[in-house]
Amino acid sequence: MLTLHGAWLDRSLAVWAEDPDAASMPVTRRAAKAAPSHPFAATAQQLANLVDGEPAEIVLELPSYRSGPVPSPEVELARPGRAARPGRWRVPVVLLPPDQALSLLTAVDAHATDDDLRPATSLRFLGLLSSHAVGLVRRGRLLPQLVAEADGHSGRWRPVLTGADLNAYRELTLAMPRVCVAEPVAAGDGSDATAARVVGAALDALVDAAARVAMPDRLLRWARPGAKAALADRWLWSLTAADAQVGPTDPTAATALAADLARWLAAANETDATFRLTFRLVEPVDEPVDNSVDNPVDEWRVEFSLQSRADPSLALSAADLWAGARHPGLPERPDEALLAGLGRAVRLFPALDSALRESAPEALVTDAAGAFAFLRDSAPLLAAAGFGVQLPAWAGRRGLGLRLSTRTAASPASPGAVVAGGVGVEQLVDFRLELALGDETVTEAELAELARLKAPLIKVRGRWVELDEGQLRSALALLRRRRSGRMTAAEALREVAAGGEADLPLVAVDADGLLGELLAGDARLTPTPTPPGFVGQLRPYQERGLSWLSFLSSIGIGGILADDMGLGKSPSTLSLLARERSGGAQVGATLLICPMSLVSNWQKETARFTPGLRVYVHHGTGRHRDAELTAAIADHDLVITTYGTALRDVASLAAHTWERVVCDEAQAIKNSNSRQARAVRAIGARSRLALTGTPVENHLAELWSLMEFCNPGLLGPVAAFRQRYQEPIEARGDADAAAALRRATGPLILRRLKTDKSIIDDLPEKQEMKVWCPLTTEQASLYKAVTEQMLAVIEGSEGIERRGNVIAAMTRLKQVCNHPAHVLKDGSRLAGRSGKLARLEELAAEIVADGDKALVFTQYAEWGTMLRPHLEARLDRPVLWLHGGLSKKQRDALVDRFQHDDQPMIFLLSLKAAGTGLNLTAANHVVHFDRWWNPAVEDQATDRAFRIGQRRDVQVRKFLCAGTLEERIDAMIERKKALAESVVGAGEAWVSELSTGQLRELFALDESAVA
């Protein structure tokens, strides 16, 4: 499997790859001016087969041993040797111009499961940067410029960075992997580029490319202006043309235009990061509260203040400012800062012009229409530009909404209807649509009165609500057009999932029958008995799940089975296939797409639970094609393939009619723009099912992608989903939007947790405990030496270099906590030198003596390679070792041996290679030897043993060295449990943002904890 990397060079993306199959012949580096060739970089021909671009060679500075460069973490090849040092290596690359780079990077999937290719951290980082660039363009955060380049002047788009966008840019700069920095071979020993320059150059180029994709091509309908045309006309035309050059220019005119445009860009970008101007919307104070919609007092205020960015509680109102008040931490001349800020804001908030006519402006006084305009138009623009905006709690909530009531019609289902749980595809339900304002139903007469008042902000029964003419018109038209009637059960469920209309969201649903049970949750579903053809007995919650699956399938609607890991998504899916075929019914084939590592699991699960199903595995060089594939599909009930194969064979697979397409580990298609996701969506089926334990990992766009696979178009275009749900929920924590999204998707997502005793009460207990291990004297001495050395290096660095040094310090200290030989890499003996190892030796001996089995996870493949022979010698028995360098066949053999060999056993596993996708219920002990410091990752690894099929209590031990950074970070995680996923979710990078003083406290050694 090739690991694909990316580096940015001038205005090009340099793509290169590691080929682990070529890593067996390392090349010894010699002291020389010329950088040697990277020994296991993919060849130019291999790259040409992957990416279409210009071949070249660049020099990269990579962590290196004497025997060669260190493989990237994604490759997971343990390489012996001394401590890694920076080394320069020549690598073949393919250079892509910005437009091609944008296409590639926006399709990068951080969890790609292609059998032959996976993106490395550098490419995923640049993919994140491209998403940021596209977002800036989509929100209009860019300005045109005239740029002098080597071959003349060009019209270019440049990003405008303010507020949250500026913060995101700074975070991206800090997070940039060092491998993203490249230099051409011809540059010789030139100095390395800084992260700020690389990220800035890449963002500029990607924004320009994204703008040319998004901008209308109206200018291109006319012929390109000739060389004698005005410079402004040629420049304007170049901004949407594929060729950005403006042609011959008069130097004086070009310099003047470029300078004017540069000043425009500088004025738009945020410069002062210490304080900001804040606008606060204040409601009328003398408003009577009754049941009337009349509002006699109509005086709203938008108040001004200066606010510290470092400490938002430190603010100075304009009224206090003009009265002479001053606060430390704010500008020395706050009056000038306030007026300058208002002058800058007036282009986004034109109504400020009247306030600026005053000598000492404190606030803008306006009416309800003006307040509504501020809420809808100016406030979002001001916030995006970096100004502070404070709005009332009710702001942003739509006043009017829809209520849907359905009742099962008295008439029986139509002849021939497919029945699921007593409800047929064509069964009719009576429905009624009503309008609601808050918690109250609104009649047509009341709605007409609101329309007559033409007031965009109205206080009704003590609550302010926003109303606009578009909403009112839509509401009146809806009542006159479609107030009640009949629809099928499928149509009713689609109405609920659609969430209403753009101006009128669905705010409440009242339904009876199975539809009502679906909306209320699976606990009320009538269980469907275990079907004939299924070997075994489904648990009660699985029988309810089968009812849910059967109903959705019968009406042709897809769903997301998001049961917790270990609750049996595979048996539930197989039981559905068995039920459909009960009684000899003829049903088309189901296509199941999964990661390559799970193909064997599905084969074994199918043979175990549904041996009557005919299974064909479409994978490998010997897989069927053309007519043979058609015949194979016709002769089988279940076709299993991988995401990589589905991508390569999408045309062949999409040419067939499938009863169902199932995606297992469906987070693989959470990036809707990835080639993988697009290929899977292109395969048609009567219904679709996504299986995943994590329907949302990072942001709500992932949920849209999964739902777009299951039910294309149901949640609308991604832009509408972003505006309606994603941005209100993620940016503002909008509770109404979150409730609406739960209402829209709830019937189509089944989520159960195995910790819920109402779901499963016979799963053994999981006992988690922390094991405190002392440092040996040697470890303590090394720990202090590494701490002082690394803190000195950290204090002398800044920016991306500092961030890298902090991560390096943490890594070395964690290795010290593991064992001195781990950090020294000197091949020395292991026995008697580590508190952690001593405790593992004792524990492993006890586990084996009791006849038990254990999983021991480590995040370091090199440490696992050192640890395995030591444990084998101590225990006098084989120790299994699973890491990323093993083939699928080797992995399967190890798992099969561990699961079925009756002998007590220790299974040593690399956390990255074995943290997901394996069933290892033979173990009743789990040991995390070194912590990943991401609770979700650790829990996933633990769930290799703690899952259905486990019949004994599982003891989970997390090793920690007392008095070290391991103990302190563990305490920080415990204090922030609610935020652990967001704060620590990326691993350990968050620690690099701490100050040097905080790092000194974090790294400090407690001498009392030394053995």
pLDDT over 90 (residue 402):
no
Which range has the top average pLDDT, 492-501, 714-723, 993-1002? 714-723
Mean pLDDT score, 428-435: 79
pLDDT tens-digit series, residues 761-775: 655 677 788 888 888
pLDDT tens-digit series, residues 744-757: 788 888 887 766 66
Query: Which token pair is 521?
Result: 């949750």
pLDDT over 60 (residue 385):
yes
Mean pLDDT score, 215-219: 61
| Distance of alpha carbon 502 from alpha carbon 470, whole angstroms | 10
pLDDT over 80 (residue 56):
yes
Using 50, 70 and 90 to split pLDDT, how confident is the model at 840?
A: very high
Separation in Å, CA 983 to CA 151, 312, 974: 46, 21, 12
pLDDT tens-digit series, residues 223-238: 677 778 888 888 888 8
Query: Which token pair is 291?
Result: 């049941």
Query: Which token pair is 13?
Result: 């993306």
Please give the pLDDT value at position 273.
60
pLDDT over 90 (residue 207):
yes
Q: Where are the domains of the chain?
A: 2-268, 275-390, 400-518, 521-750, 766-1009
Please give the pLDDT value at position 414.
38
Using 50, 70 and 90 to split pLDDT, how confident is the model at 487?
A: confident
Element spanning 376, H or E: none
| Distance of alpha carbon 688 from alpha carbon 713, whole angstroms | 13
The sign of the torsion formed by the CA atoms of 752, 754, 758, 759 equals: positive
pLDDT tens-digit series, residues 633-652: 999 999 999 998 999 999 99
pLDDT tens-digit series, residues 954-980: 889 899 888 888 888 787 766 544 333
pLDDT over 80 (residue 427):
no
pLDDT top residue among 570 and 112: 570
Please give the pLDDT value at position 415.
34
Please give the pLDDT value at position 984.
30
Using 50, 70 and 90 to split pLDDT, how confident is the model at 304?
A: very high
What average pLDDT does the chain have?
A: 80
pLDDT over 80 (residue 444):
no
What is the CB neighbour count within 10 angstroms for residue 19?
A: 17
pLDDT top residue among 494 and 380: 380
Please give the pLDDT value at position 524.
60
pLDDT top residue among 189 and 335: 335
Q: Could you give the angle at which helices 735-745 and 701-710 cross, rounded to 10 degrees?
A: 20
Using 50, 70 and 90 to split pLDDT, how confident is the model at 202?
A: very high
What is the CB neighbour count within 10 angstroms for residue 1?
A: 18
Please give the pLDDT value at position 458.
73
Mean pLDDT score, 590-595: 93
Please give the pLDDT value at position 596.
77
> What are 16's strand-pairing partners?
5
Separation in Å, CA 182 to CA 77, 169, 563, 911: 24, 20, 44, 31
Q: Give residues with Cβ within 8 angstroms of 645, minimum separation 6.
A: 115, 618, 619, 623
Using 50, 70 and 90 to split pLDDT, how confident is the model at 133?
A: very high
Residue with tokens 């080929």: 19
Please give the pLDDT value at position 420.
36
521-750: which CATH topology?
Rossmann fold (3.40.50)
pLDDT top residue among 163 and 569: 569
Poorest-pLDDT segment among 19-33, 540-554, 568-582, 913-927: 19-33
Using 50, 70 and 90 to split pLDDT, how confident is the model at 888?
A: confident
Which range has the top average pLDDT, 241-255, 677-691, 820-834? 677-691
Going by C-alpha positions, the residue among 907, 952, 599, 988 that lies closest to residue 764 is 952
pLDDT more than 70, % of the chain: 82
Q: Residue 807 — left, alpha, or beta (φ > 0 → left; ψ -120 to 50 → alpha)?
A: alpha
Please give the pLDDT value at position 680.
94
Please give the pLDDT value at position 290.
44
Please give the pLDDT value at position 618.
94
In the three-class reduction of DSSP (H, G, I as helix; E, B as strand; rest coil), residue 362 is classed as: coil
Poorest-pLDDT segment among 55-64, 480-489, 524-533, 584-593: 480-489
Please give the pLDDT value at position 631.
93
> What are 13's strand-pairing partners?
8, 96
**What values do phi and psi take at 11, rounded to 5?**
-110, 30
Would you say domain 766-1009 falls under CATH 3.20.20.70?
no
Using 50, 70 and 90 to split pLDDT, how confident is the model at 145?
A: very high
| Distance of alpha carbon 96 from alpha carbon 108, whole angstroms | 15
Indicate the length of the chain as a whole number: 1011
Mean pLDDT score, 311-333: 82
pLDDT over 90 (residue 700):
no
Which range has the top average pLDDT, 321-335, 596-610, 851-865? 851-865
Please give the pLDDT value at position 807.
79
Per DSSP, the chain holds a count of helices (H) and strands (E) of: 38, 36
Mean pLDDT score, 979-986: 33
Using 50, 70 and 90 to split pLDDT, how confident is the model at 425?
A: very low
Please give the pLDDT value at position 460.
65
pLDDT over 70 (residue 192):
no
pLDDT over 90 (residue 726):
no
| Distance of alpha carbon 766 from alpha carbon 925, whole angstroms | 10
pLDDT tens-digit series, residues 451-477: 776 777 777 666 777 776 777 777 777
Mean pLDDT score, 286-305: 65
Q: Give residues with Cβ within 8 angstroms of 112, minimum separation 6.
A: 118, 119, 643, 668, 674, 676
Mean pLDDT score, 714-718: 84
First to last CA, the chain: 45
Please give the pLDDT value at position 205.
94
Please give the pLDDT value at position 413.
41
Please give the pLDDT value at position 897.
92
Using 50, 70 and 90 to split pLDDT, how confident is the model at 717?
A: confident
